[in-house]
Structure 1
Amino acid sequence: MGNLRERVSYLKGLAEGLALEAESREGKLLSQVITVLGEVAGELERVQQAQQDLEEYVSAIDESVGELEEDYYGSEPEEAEEDDEAEEEGEEGYIEVECPKCHEKVYFEEDMLDDNVVTEITCPQCGEVVFSTDSETDEAEEGPAPVGATED
């Protein structure tokens, strides 16, 4: 931005060197335009300095937050921990069923099968029944069978 200030100074010197009459309308206009350009260049330098200071401050905050995350969560990233937990949950006590209508995967707990209560599991996406423990159906005679079931 120093280049902009230099260019404004050059224009100021050029106007003085041309001996523009300060009394003429054109001379007054050029003088005021050059003055405003100088003020704009100065303000722009202040804004750029403030921007640079803010960037340094945000960078320092980012580093501090990174250190705090590492101290709190350990060296393993949070996403990896969540993935591990989801895999563990998927392996323990959950049944996965694919909806025959929209092919959305629906999960429910195995404990729901232990009850002697008629249970219907519906797809949260389309509302289609994906699993039923209704003993009156033909499938129930062979035991409860999920529609499109795939166990992990």
Structure 2
Amino acid sequence: MEPQRQIILKQAPYSLHDLYDRYAGMLLGYLSEAVKDRKLAEQHLVNIFNIIPQHLDELNTADTNTWCQLQRLAKKHLTGSSVKETGGHEVGNGIIIEKGRNKFLDQMSNEQQTVFCAVYYNHKTIMQLADELNKPEELIRKALREAFAIIRKGT
């Protein structure tokens, strides 16, 4: 009889059905927490599982964590679709202000909102943001520190 590890290694790659059975519940919880709306999260889940077949090769490589890959895919999907669904708006250079996703944004200045959303939601680095906004990196860091101070103060 083969050890359990060898049996697992010989299993065929995930099919879409396998991924759904194993991860849909966790992914729905992840999406629900991100968008704070169950119906919207369910719609995102459907949309993500519709695009998964295009990414099955990435999900089936032996050296990747499937759950992390699904989270990455979900985050990418949410970032791409968040403007119309959360009431966010683009302020230029691909920076999206996510008004509906963070209750502390209303307490921030426009500069703090722009920096926080660019870094946190749009995954830009301080260096990228400084170049795009044509401002020194230290000013970007200061605005980001101030934004996080507002969030810490409110929690």
Give TM-score scaled by structure 2 length.
Answer: 0.26
Give TM-score scaled by structure 1 length.
Answer: 0.26
The structure that has the greater radius of gyration is 1
Comparing both structures, which one devotes a greater share of its residues to helix? 2
Comparing both structures, which one devotes a greater share of its residues to strand? 1
